């Protein structure tokens, strides 16, 4: 029996700031445990929180990038609950006046985006240096700025969830709001899954896009089969078992929490005008979707090529600056060739040398090498060798060519080499005369090695054939 999945997401994102959300402790959760703490983020009585301006701007910019509305006034609220990672007994969050309302991404409606503080990190059992069942708490993460984005239940498939999450990550990176690395906990995704608008289960504590997508796909099947058997879906939180590849019940949610939200008394409601939303909107970078479509139109890239380039903002910047250098080369603008050198040869070198593509070779140098190859001044073998030498030395390609004797071998040198190779291999010559034409290929290999791979292959082959025929 076919049922319609209904999926909504809650996404938490750790924001990129120098300081914590309400105090001046550094935003550095990876430091030695509990070094980045103070009376404010440890929740001592009588302390006063001061909101982080940069974090507020990040959330407004994310909202604007997603087409959301920034209200004239916003406020923080206290969400009250007890947990060992929250010594204050409440979390400062936003309840009924979030920083962003509405918006849309890939056809999925955004309900709201708000700002809150993160909680401390609990390290259980084996994660700690302490023996046994103990739990240790690291407050470096306590009160770090945390953005929460909530969608409407508009997703209909696991694939759609995966695509949305990856695009959101890319937008956050373009905006410089977060690195949004799921494996590092900088982006945490919870999915609410139900069938035919029935009872929802909540999937959480999943730490990769792949796992989120797999967990949602599994949950759709699991609920469908349970309903087919006439069972009732229970409202619960489920996690993902990566080894068994199943979702597993973590806790029942039948008793919904009542957080007793109330306005944060230490931070009065405030207007958003001083954050200059119009100015922030004007300062937004070109976003991934716009960049993809422009790359396709401007440089005639395919959709897949544009996706690959736009999938990394630094790579896109590098590509465009190399293209503009290439246009100055008067080589007929071989952008397709540049794309190939960049995404295959240079990428390969970067992997091999364990460096970033964008820092390996200057864009102008790559453009120059591509131009030399496309005008035939270098064979593609030579161009690839030159690219490697430029990557290794960081030197200008023309200087490397001059110093290392790159460039087409002149006709005189080619002819001399062919003659000497043929003189030195009488057996191959007589084989050739007996009709074993593959001995010409052998001579070609020997001659090319002598010429250090720098001869034009077609020219060399022709010279060898001519010499062999002349001696026949
Ligand atoms: Zn602090």
Show which of 280, 298, 322 is a domain's final residue: 280
Show which of 280, 311, 342 is a domain's final residue: 280
- Backbone angle region of 245, left / alpha / beta, with phi > 0 → left and psi within -120 to 50 → alpha: left
Cα(40) to ligand 1 centroid in Å equals: 5
Please check whether residues 338 and 225 belong to one and the same domain.
Answer: no
Please check whether residues 258 and 274 belong to one and the same domain.
Answer: yes
Please check whether residues 193 and 147 belong to one and the same domain.
Answer: yes
Cα(254) to ligand 1 centroid in Å equals: 35
Q: Report CA-CA distances (Å) from 117 to 283, 337, 460.
A: 26, 48, 70
Q: What is the pTM of this model?
A: 0.84
Cα(116) to ligand 1 centroid in Å equals: 15
Between 426-433 and 411-424, two packed helices, what is the crossing angle to 10 degrees? 90
Cα(121) to ligand 1 centroid in Å equals: 15
**Residue 378 in contact with residue 407, Cβ under 8 Å?**
yes
Please check whether residues 195 and 344 belong to one and the same domain.
Answer: no
Residues 6 or more apart whose CB falls under 8 angstroms from that of 27 comprise 16, 17, 18, 19, 20, 36, 144, 145
CB burial readout 8-44, b (16+ within 10 A) else e: bbbbbbbbbbebbbbbebebebeeebeebbeebbbbe
Cα(87) to ligand 1 centroid in Å equals: 13
Alpha-carbon gap, residue 183 to 11, rounded angstroms: 14
Average pLDDT of the chain is: 92
pLDDT tens digit sequence for 117-152: 999 998 876 555 655 677 889 999 999 999 999 999
Number of domains in the chain: 3
Query: What pLDDT sits at residue 149?
Result: 98
Show which of 280, 300, 315 is a domain's final residue: 280
Please check whether residues 341 and 462 belong to one and the same domain.
Answer: no
Which helix or strand (DSSP H or E) is residue 159 part of?
A: helix 158-175
Cα(46) to ligand 1 centroid in Å equals: 14
Cα(140) to ligand 1 centroid in Å equals: 8
Cα(43) to ligand 1 centroid in Å equals: 9
Q: Which domain holds residue 377?
A: 288-404
Cα(25) to ligand 1 centroid in Å equals: 4
Please check whether residues 181 and 132 belong to one and the same domain.
Answer: yes
Q: Look up residue 344 and give its DSSP letter.
A: I
Beta pairing class for 236-241 and 201-203: parallel
Please check whether residues 33 and 61 belong to one and the same domain.
Answer: yes
Alpha-carbon gap, residue 342 to 357, rounded angstroms: 8
Q: How many residues does the chain have?
A: 472
pLDDT category at 377 given cuts 50, 70, 90 is: confident
Cα(26) to ligand 1 centroid in Å equals: 8
**Residue 188 in contact with residue 217, Cβ under 8 Å?**
no
Cα(84) to ligand 1 centroid in Å equals: 17
pLDDT tens digit sequence for 333-371: 789 999 999 999 999 999 999 999 999 999 999 999 999
pLDDT tens digit sequence for 385-396: 999 999 999 999
Would you tell me how many other CB atoms lie within 10 Å of the CB of residue 220? 21
Q: What three-state secondary structure class fits 165?
A: helix
Tokens of 342: 């960049």
Cα(416) to ligand 1 centroid in Å equals: 77
Please check whether residues 237 and 335 belong to one and the same domain.
Answer: no
pLDDT tens digit sequence for 144-187: 999 999 999 999 999 999 999 999 999 999 999 999 999 999 99
Cα(135) to ligand 1 centroid in Å equals: 22
Most confidently modeled of 270-279, 428-437, 453-462? 270-279
Would you tell me how many other CB atoms lie within 10 Å of the CB of residue 313? 18
Please check whether residues 399 and 465 belong to one and the same domain.
Answer: no
Cα(207) to ligand 1 centroid in Å equals: 27
Query: What pLDDT sits at residue 87?
Result: 83
Cα(133) to ligand 1 centroid in Å equals: 29
Nearest to 171 by CA among 147, 154, 155: 147
Please check whether residues 330 and 459 belong to one and the same domain.
Answer: no
Please check whether residues 305 and 386 belong to one and the same domain.
Answer: yes
Beta pairing class for 201-203 and 187-195: antiparallel
Please check whether residues 259 and 309 belong to one and the same domain.
Answer: no
Bridge partners, residue 14, by sequence:
146
Mean per-residue pLDDT, 86-91 = 90
């Amino acid at each position: 029996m076919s049922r319609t999945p209904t999926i909504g997401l809650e996404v938490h994102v750790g924001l990129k700031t120098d300081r914590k959300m309400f105090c001046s402790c550094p935003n550095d959760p990876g430091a030695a445990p509990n070094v980045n703490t103070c009376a404010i983020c440890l929740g001592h009585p009588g302390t006063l929180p001061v909101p982080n301006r940069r974090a507020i701007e990040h959330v407004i910019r994310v909202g604007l990038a997603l087409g959301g509305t920034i209200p004239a006034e916003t406020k923080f609220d206290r969400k009250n609950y007890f947990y060992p990672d929250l010594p204050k007994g409440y979390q400062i969050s936003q309840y009924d006046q979030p920083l962003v309302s509405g918006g849309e991404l890939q056809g999925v409606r955004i309900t709201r985006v708000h700002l809150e503080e993160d909680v401390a990190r609990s390290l259980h059992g084996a994660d700690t240096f302490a023996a046994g069942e103990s739990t240790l708490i690291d407050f470096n993460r306590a009160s770090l700025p945390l953005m929460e984005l909530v969608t409407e239940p508009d997703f209909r498939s696991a694939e759609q969830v995966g695509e949305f999450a990856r695009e959101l990550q890319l937008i956050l990176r373009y905006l410089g709001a977060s690195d949004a690395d799921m494996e590092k906990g900088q982006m945490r995704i919870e999915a609410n899954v139900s069938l035919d608008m029935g009872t929802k289960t909540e999937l959480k504590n999943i730490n990769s896009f792949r796992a989120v997508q797999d967990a949602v796909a599994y949950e759709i099947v699991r609920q469908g089969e349970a309903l087919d058997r006439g069972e009732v879906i229970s409202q619960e939180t489920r996690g993902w078992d990566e080894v068994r590849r199943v979702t597993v019940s973590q806790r029942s949610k039948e008793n919904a929490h009542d957080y007793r939200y109330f306005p944060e008394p230490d931070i009065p409601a405030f207007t958003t005008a001083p954050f200059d939303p119009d100015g922030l909107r004007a300062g937004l970078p070109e976003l991934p979707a716009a960049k993809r479509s422009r790359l396709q139109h401007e440089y005639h890239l395919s959709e897949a090529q544009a996706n690959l380039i736009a999938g990394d903002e630094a790579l896109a910047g590098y590509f465009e600056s190399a293209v503009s250098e290439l246009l100055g080369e008067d080589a007929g603008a071989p952008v397709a060739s540049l794309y190939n050198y960049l995404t295959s040869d240079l990428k390969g070198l970067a992997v091999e040398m364990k460096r970033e593509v964008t820092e390996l070779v200057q864009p102008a140098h790559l453009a120059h090498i591509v131009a030399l190859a496309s005008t035939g001044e270098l064979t593609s073998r030579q161009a690839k060798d030159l690219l490697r030498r430029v990557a290794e030395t960081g030197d200008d390609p023309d200087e490397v060519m001059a110093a290392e004797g790159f460039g087409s071998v002149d006709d005189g040198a080619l002819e001399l080499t062919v003659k000497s190779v043929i003189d030195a291999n009488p057996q191959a010559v007589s084989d050739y005369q007996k009709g074993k034409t593959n001995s010409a290929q052998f001579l070609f290999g020997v001659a090319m090695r002598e010429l250090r791979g720098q001869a034009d292959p077609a020219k060399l082959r022709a010279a060898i054939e001519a010499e062999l025929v002349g001696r026949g």
